[in-house]
Amino acid sequence: MVSSGDNSPSRIIPAFIDFLKIEKGLAALTLAAYKRDLGQFAVYVERQKRTLLSARREEVRGFIEQLFANSIDGRSVARKLSALRHLYRYLLLEGMVERDPTMNLPSPKQWKVLPKSMARREIEEMLGGETTEVSTRRREAINSRNRTMLEVFYAGALRVSELVSLRIADVKLEMGYALVRGKGDKERIVPLGRSAQEALSIYLRHSRPRLVGAKQSPLLFIGRGGRPLTRQRVWQMVKTVSGKSGGRASPHMLRHSCATHMVENGADLRTVQTILGHADISTTQIYTHVALDRLRSVYQKHHPRAKAR
């Protein structure tokens, strides 16, 4: 049992683990996993300027969302949430907390967590950086191709499979859009911004001919000798380029960054749904909280009675 003055995780967690060992008879491996899980949560709430005893529902949910954002599998997330539920039932029985912050939280499998996106500054640094080391004519062509792929990724929120299968005939530069084939071979029109159009124009006029050589290929983005690019090669390229600016990006992050930044700037979800190629609006609704955050920010800034006196 923990006395009311012993509020540190180093006291609470071992006492709780001893309780589980004696009262519940849990296996040693389960107890060890619970101890690690609760230690992680204790570190998380400390960063939020909270403690295990003052943690709220917001901290529990934020912790779970962080786990998903770090690609922790659902089974592990469920175990960590189970450890928290057991802990707060114990603390309630001990009279150390008045309410259980895990109460009525949905099962992790029901959660839809916003995919990780990049800040606009990170996007600008990534798009403006060099993508190769050696400055030869062939390398310059690859550099131009890579930068153009990044621009198109971000401009049209494309998936990797959609980018590598783009054909020259699919790009309508003079009209500012590309015809993209998504999941289920469904076609959609994706707008291309000015930066992407300019990069594509340079790539098609100067860089792509150096890469394709004497061969012919209908694909827009190609490797040396006109070979098709693999999805793995594109992932590697994005990771390498982002690493040079100190980040850890992926093609998915560029796609989600495009959607997030559009919503932040006031785009409606139906428009974002169309650009992303989501079959159902419910998939796009993971970006709703971005819109709500923007709405709250604008309200706080402009409503005459929004701020506390």
Q: Just list the catalytic residues.
A: 159, 183, 252, 255, 278, 287
- Please name which of 87, 224, 231 lies closest in space to residue 153, comparing C-alpha atoms: 231
As beta bridge partners, residue 188 has 180
Nearest-angstrom CA–CA distance, 31 and 35: 6
Place of tokens 């190629």: 277
